[in-house]
Chains A and B, each alone.
Chain A
């Protein structure tokens, strides 16, 4: 029994990271129908920049803040330099651009920083907390709390604020959005900034547990994508639930079958979702009258 609980706890920790990546996907997808495969690189940048700023002597909270701001700026640059000029291209082309951007960011990080694995200290120490025979790291609680906080903020943003609904309106009908006075370019910029900031936050929170290096982004992007698909693309609740489910599934696969098959869990999920219910768990079936 403690074994099951242990797998569950580590699954939820990893799942919270996937949920944060999936939430990042959700925002950009909601604004533009684009799946941004550079989302994983934002996580990597969050961890890497924090490490190097911290190593340069800055206190950890300040280093983390800088990492989040710089990553958000990189997200804005990605939109301005790569996505916006290609506006009007089919969505598939835009998605391919984001894949290119992710390769570029990975390469640039390798040159600017290095290829080593890095870690900075956990926020509340490394003393594991005992729960019913299983243990959890204090940093795991930070990760889970971070995912929940981001989810609540996003949910409020999309349902309670006018600008949040303007983001949804822009995704639904860009021309009509312009006709009611929404600056759709600004909406896109905002979405990329928020998405990148959330990715960077995930990187800041998880690096003390999983370590980071220039190439951790790709796997995270794919896992986050699987989580977003499972929950239903475009739905913040789906991203959260999908992320946690995928994390737990992975932990159970690793624990009860073999850790070698751990990564396969995500891909089995993607295939199963696409075959059985393409709209995901919480995805809205579109209700267009034709």
Chain B
């Protein structure tokens, strides 16, 4: 579904991605794990089109994406739930969700919103409040729910567990797992390697802008080097 080859990207003169190769098959949950600063977020930004690519290719459902502008990639079914609090703080929770479905104006929008509220009941409670007043965890849920409103065939999730209380982390990973039933392919970027690898089918390990290991998630979890470097075991 998504194939990345030789992807390079730079901030100014400093190259941060040194040729990334990665592929995600339809229906899979694939995770990219790695330490802070490895380039994981930059990778997702490149895939979404909000960070320029200096070379390499991104092919999504058979179509080269590199020259497609960011907003048009959403239309093609590639949505991202960005890292941190990239929500519309001045709009209400409900308006945020409605804008997630910006490309649609049919009856399904209302049903999708009800689904989002079922997935995250706290958002329903706060639907008429300004999103800027939500707690960090609630903003994270809103970002995920908003991305799902775009009816993605492939969802890019950037650090959904970052800064959350352990009980919320577990809840977020449950949500990720449940996306499989909704036929949403997931590319999950995480520092929390153990959590991410436990819900993923396959994983990639990223270090300073390169993929250093890849394989089935179960193998990576069992790998000595990974256990030592990322799982703290």
Interface membership of B226, Cβ < 8 A:
no
A165's contact among B75, B98, B134, B135, by CB below 8 Å, is which?
B98
Q: Which residues of B lie under 8 Å from residue A166 when comparing CB positions? A: 99, 102
Instruction: Please tell me if the beta carbons of B70 and A176 are within 8 angstroms of each other in the complex.
Output: no
- Which residue of the partner chain B has the closest CB to A170? B88
A7-15, A181-189, A263-271: which one contacts chain B?
Answer: A181-189
| Interface SS, B side | mixed
Q: Which residues of A lie under 8 Å from residue B103 when comparing CB positions? A: 181
B90's contact among A175, A180, A286, A289, by CB below 8 Å, is which?
A286
Alpha-carbon separation in the docked complex, A177 to B90 (Å): 13
A182's contact among B95, B102, B105, by CB below 8 Å, is which?
B102
Instruction: Please tell me if the beta carbons of B71 and A288 are within 8 angstroms of each other in the complex.
Output: no
Shortest CB distance A188–B (Å) = 13
Interface membership of A93, Cβ < 8 A:
no
Shortest CB distance A212–B (Å) = 37
Interface membership of B6, Cβ < 8 A:
no
Shortest CB distance A190–B (Å) = 14
Instruction: Please tell me if the beta carbons of A180 and B89 are within 8 angstroms of each other in the complex.
Output: no
- Which residue of the partner chain A has the closest CB to B51? A175
Alpha-carbon separation in the docked complex, A183 to B74 (Å): 10
Instruction: Please tell me if the beta carbons of A180 and B50 are within 8 angstroms of each other in the complex.
Output: no
Instruction: Please tell me if the beta carbons of B86 and A179 are within 8 angstroms of each other in the complex.
Output: yes
B86's contact among A173, A287, A289, by CB below 8 Å, is which?
A173
Instruction: Please tell me if the beta carbons of B70 and A178 are within 8 angstroms of each other in the complex.
Output: yes
B50's contact among A165, A178, A289, by CB below 8 Å, is which?
A178
Count of chain A to chain B residue pairs whose CB atoms are closer than 8 Å in the complex: 89
Shortest CB distance B97–A (Å) = 10
Q: For window 64-102 of chain B, which residues contact chain A by CB distance below 8 Å?
A: 69-72, 74-75, 79-80, 82, 85-91, 95, 98-100, 102
- Which residue of the partner chain B has the closest CB to A181? B74
Chain A interface size, as a band, is: 20 to 34
Instruction: Please tell me if the beta carbons of B86 and A176 are within 8 angstroms of each other in the complex.
Output: yes
Q: For window 148-171 of chain B, which residues contact chain A by CB distance below 8 Å?
A: 149-150
Q: Which residues of B lie under 8 Å from residue A287 when comparing CB positions? A: 89, 130, 132-133
Interface membership of A87, Cβ < 8 A:
no
Alpha-carbon separation in the docked complex, A288 to B89 (Å): 7
- Which of A166, A184, A286, A287 has the most chain B CB atoms inside 10 A of its CB? A287
- Which residue of the partner chain A has the closest CB to B80? A179
Q: For window 261-290 of chain A, which residues contact chain B by CB distance below 8 Å?
A: 284, 286-289
Q: For window 89-121 of chain B, which residues contact chain A by CB distance below 8 Å?
A: 89-91, 95, 98-100, 102-103, 105
Interface membership of A1, Cβ < 8 A:
no
Instruction: Mark contacts of B127-156 with chain A using CB atoms, 8 A cut-off: 1 yes-contact digit, 0 otherwise.
Output: 000101111100100000011011000000
A184's contact among B71, B95, B136, by CB below 8 Å, is which?
B71
Instruction: Please tell me if the beta carbons of B99 and A289 are within 8 angstroms of each other in the complex.
Output: no
Instruction: Please tell me if the beta carbons of A180 and B132 are within 8 angstroms of each other in the complex.
Output: no
Interface membership of A172, Cβ < 8 A:
yes
Q: For window 160-217 of chain A, which residues contact chain B by CB distance below 8 Å?
A: 162, 165-166, 168-169, 171-173, 175-184
Interface membership of B34, Cβ < 8 A:
no
- Which residue of the partner chain A has the closest CB to B95? A165
Q: Which residues of B lie under 8 Å from residue A165 when comparing CB positions? A: 91, 95, 98-99
Using A178-B50, A179-B82, A289-B139 as known contacts, list a sample of 9 further A-B pairs with CB atoms less than 8 Å apart, ordered by residue number in A.
A166-B99, A169-B91, A173-B86, A173-B88, A178-B70, A179-B79, A180-B146, A181-B71, A181-B103
- 19 A-B Cβ contacts within 8 A? A162-B98, A162-B102, A165-B95, A168-B91, A172-B91, A173-B88, A175-B82, A176-B86, A177-B88, A178-B71, A179-B48, A179-B50, A179-B80, A180-B146, A180-B147, A181-B103, A183-B69, A183-B71, A289-B134
